[in-house]
Chain A
Amino acid sequence: MNATKILQQGRQPMIRFLGKRVTPSQIDHSPKVHPASPNQALPESFASYRQKAQQHGPLNQSKFATGQIGGVPGSSLGPIEAGKGNYFDRSELPKRFQRLAWTQAEIDAVESGGASMFA
């Protein structure tokens, strides 16, 4: 032990034990260029997709911070049910909740008990 100490006074190895490995407390998850990317650039589509993507609110982090859509809890917008005497119209809902028009193929399928799908 002492012999090692004396030896190491003269030379400090470059490899040193840094302590237990821990996950950094703050990690920036915003998309950045992959280290092995040949052109060192992210295409514009990454930013534009994030702008467009609506997944329980926009993915764009800055909007959360500025208090825009998704930046405030939904409950603060008031009750989701229509007020007394008022009704929501289906056409007011986002497109995915709106009515899907029946195609002729579907009508035929229902009327023929599914047989038309194999005709």
Chain B
Amino acid sequence: MFRSVVPRALPRAVRPSAVSRSTFCAPNIYFQGRSRRGYASEAEEKDLVIIGGGVAGYVAAIKAGQSGLKVACIEKRGALGGTCLNVGCIPSKSLLNNSHLYHQILHDTKHRGIEVGEVKINLQAMMQAKDTSVAGLTKGVEFLFKKNNVEYIKGTGAFQDEHTIAVNLIDGGETTVRGKNILIATGSEATPFPGLTIDEKKVITSTGAIAMTEVPKKMVVIGGGIIGLEMGSVWSRLGSEVTVVEFLGQIGGPGMDAEVAKQTQKILAKQGMKFKLNTKVTKGDMEGETVTINTEAAKGGKEETLDADVVLCAIGRRPYTNGLGLENIGLETDDRGRLIIDQEYRTKIQHIRAIGDVTFGPMLAHKAEEEAVAAIEYLTKGYGHVNYGAIPSVMYTHPEVAWVGQSEEELKSAGVKYKVGSFPFSANSRAKTNLDTLGFVKMLSDAETDRILGIHIVGPNAGEMIAEGVLAIEYGASSEDIARTSHAHPTLSEAFKEAAMATYDKAIHY
């Protein structure tokens, strides 16, 4: 009798009407993973469920909320903003800014007519300042969630089926949430160095590098990319003896123009950082008080042993899909762990999309933001736009390094005929008055049409200045267009204009 009256629906998980309420969710806890049948009422279905509350996930959630979608965002960290806000871009910028101030007060005041007494570092307070900035920003995102009617589920999400996400709640208990559409925005994690165990004390990733309790005497950075150089800069300024070991022949990672990389390396070396390029790390030993790193020339040969109190592994990041239950829905990743998507961010299962670090493209927060907006627009309007040829890269050392578009080497290898123009900050009036004249602006444009193909800056405020370059590339401007656009005097951006002048004709002040 009982059998015939039980509804024979598909085994669907049961979800309380409001997940955010920390109510006792008996059906979920008792039946999840135990029963194939749905005995209770159907779960409320969201228009969109987002797994991951990082830059990609939270921007998508807010945009979806603004578009009137019923949206839930699952985040397991307990704070929104992901790697960028919590342990990446934001805390590192706080440390970079404050360590730069300390370094400047210590070494760069006398000739400016400022006499300073004893300058001391209070690392605990510096970390506190960093934490305050981070907390303020993550709380801000949480407020935006409320404002845009985004349901924030604190827990770890995993696919149960193509429409259902099981969530292991941080506060205990489990729940499930169903979505018509699902967005995977789980981000990335630091790639560990084979042979070295990350303990975030002696062998650290960028996460450990922003939370050290004392300044190490000696620090070895494996990987001379943006993360390695930024964190190396911080600790070098605070007094560490920093050695950067890089496998390739130039610092800065992929995309950085060789001329810019060379100049940057010179400047950073002057600031006290040591570089070992074309060098590979063969072995690491963490046994003793310090960490011993064995290196040899990348092409084989010269061996060396480096001793360090702390080793920072900054060899790159890899997509993070652990525990996401991709196997439950048959979603595959490529050879580097990235989710495979089409032009509208859809995986092979059309209603499941992936954006940000977990899929193709550079692992940059602003790229993830662009994708988040585009993915929601594809969902709501059927049309979105991200120009992957106009995504800037910035390294926040001092001076900053920023670029957009193609490098000279890329153009050469593609056989494109181009013109080059550059302008040094040493010839810029504002840089002169600021006593901050290291670096230059370099512009590459098509030899025939003068259309800008790449802009590379090393110098003060490069990260802000590159926005003009991105706009120029997005709009398909010529170097003459920039050169004929009035730039305020005296500003650093005049160097940008003069580089454009040098590209299509001649600079005035150089």
Q: Which chain A residues have a beta carbon within 8 Å of chain B's beta carbons?
A: 11, 13-15, 23-24, 27, 29, 31-39, 42-43, 45-46, 49-50, 53, 59, 96-97, 99-100, 102-103, 106, 110, 114, 117
Contacts and interface: CB of A to CB of B under 8 A. Distances in A.
A27 B344 CA distance: 11
A49 B36 CA distance: 25
A27 B37 contact: no
Contact of A27 (B2, B340, B382, B388): B382
B475 interface: yes
Nearest to B381: A23
A14 B476 CA distance: 7
A59 B30 CA distance: 36
Contacts of A23: 381-383
B8 A100 contact: yes
B183 interface: no
Interface of B: 2-3, 8, 10, 30, 34-37, 332, 334, 340-346, 348-350, 359-362, 381-383, 386, 388, 450-451, 475-478, 480-481, 484
B346 A37 contact: no
Contacts of B30: 114, 117
B348 A35 contact: no
B348 A34 contact: no
Contacts of B386: 35
A77 B317 CA distance: 55
B113 to A, nearest CB: 44
Contacts of A42: 340, 342
B350 A38 contact: no
Given A35-B388, A39-B334, 16 more contacts: A13-B484, A14-B451, A23-B381, A23-B383, A32-B343, A33-B342, A34-B343, A34-B360, A36-B362, A37-B340, A37-B360, A38-B360, A42-B340, A43-B340, A49-B348, A100-B36
A59 B383 contact: no
A15 B475 contact: yes
Nearest to A42: B342
A14 B8 contact: no
A11 B484 contact: yes
A117 B386 CA distance: 51
A23 B10 CA distance: 39
28 contacts: A11-B480, A14-B478, A15-B477, A15-B481, A27-B382, A32-B342, A33-B342, A33-B343, A35-B343, A35-B386, A35-B388, A36-B362, A37-B340, A37-B341, A37-B360, A38-B334, A38-B360, A39-B334, A42-B342, A46-B340, A49-B349, A59-B350, A97-B8, A99-B8, A100-B8, A100-B37, A103-B36, A117-B34
B382 A36 contact: no
Contacts of B381: 23
Contacts of A34: 341-343, 345, 359-360
Contacts of A114: 30
A13 B481 contact: yes
Nearest to B382: A27
Q: Give the top 10 A-B pairs by smallest Cβ distance, nearest first.
A: A36-B361, A31-B342, A36-B360, A49-B348, A46-B348, A15-B475, A23-B383, A14-B478, A32-B343, A45-B348
Contacts of B346: 31
A87 to B, nearest CB: 16
Contact of A14 (B10, B359, B382, B477): B477
Scoring B348, B382, B481 by chain A CB atoms within 10 A of each residue's CB, the highest score goes to B348
Contacts of B37: 100, 106
Scoring A34, A39, A49 by chain B CB atoms within 10 A of each residue's CB, the highest score goes to A34
Contacts of A96: 10
Nearest to A117: B34
A50 B10 CA distance: 22
Contacts of A106: 35-37
B383 A24 contact: yes
A114 B34 CA distance: 11
Nearest to B349: A49
A13 to B, nearest CB: 5
A14 B334 CA distance: 40
A15 B476 CA distance: 7
A31 B343 contact: yes
Nearest to B450: A14
Contacts of A59: 350
Contact of B481 (A14, A31, A100, A110): A14
Contact of B342 (A46, A100, A102): A46
Contact of A45 (B34, B332, B359, B451): B332
Contacts of A49: 348-349
B8 A53 contact: no
B354 to A, nearest CB: 10
Contacts of B451: 14
B78 to A, nearest CB: 30
Contacts of B477: 13-15
Nearest to A98: B8
Contacts of A33: 342-343
A11 B484 CA distance: 10
A103 B11 CA distance: 14
A40 to B, nearest CB: 11
